Structure 1
């Protein structure tokens, strides 16, 4: 489960199928781990339905709870004075 948590912290919000492919954990086992982590409050899970090329794909959308990633480097837009 530590590997899942670290992956989500590095990559941000991900679908369960994407996490399973990246961590090489079977999808059924991964969903059990995600459910357990959600109950403990480590992650936030939403059930999501996406349509990719007309095909319906259902999955769990996950992200680390209470974690705000650092701002990306580079110039930031500023408010224009009128």
Structure 2
């Protein structure tokens, strides 16, 4: 059940850190990390470890996105060469 809600959250919000996924879904961080490892093993998501610094303190996390998922293009005119 956690894996489905995490996939839905990632599709809606794009690339996120594991801590942001935990905040957004209301699932405990340890459970999110376990689910992310399962999803990565199934090749449902792409995941890499990342170190960020908050107030000079290193914070370890996992940066994730859905594999092979391309969000639809934003509506409106696109920049390009004018003729």
What is the total number of aligned residue pairs between the two structures? 81
In structure 2, list runs of 5 or more residues that go unmatched.
none
Q: CA deviation at 1:58?
A: 1.3
In structure 1, list runs of 5 or more residues that go unmatched.
none
* Alignment equivalent of 1:15, drawn from 14, 17, 26: 17
Equivalent residues in 2 for 1:21-40, closer than 5 Å: 21-40=23-42
> In the alignment, does 2:45 pair up with 1:43?
yes
Deviating above 2 A after TM superposition, structure 1's stretches of 4 or more consecutive aligned residues are 52-55
Q: Could you tell me the TM-score, scaled by structure 2's length?
A: 0.89
Structure 2 counterpart of 1:67 = 69
Q: CA deviation at 1:80?
A: 5.1
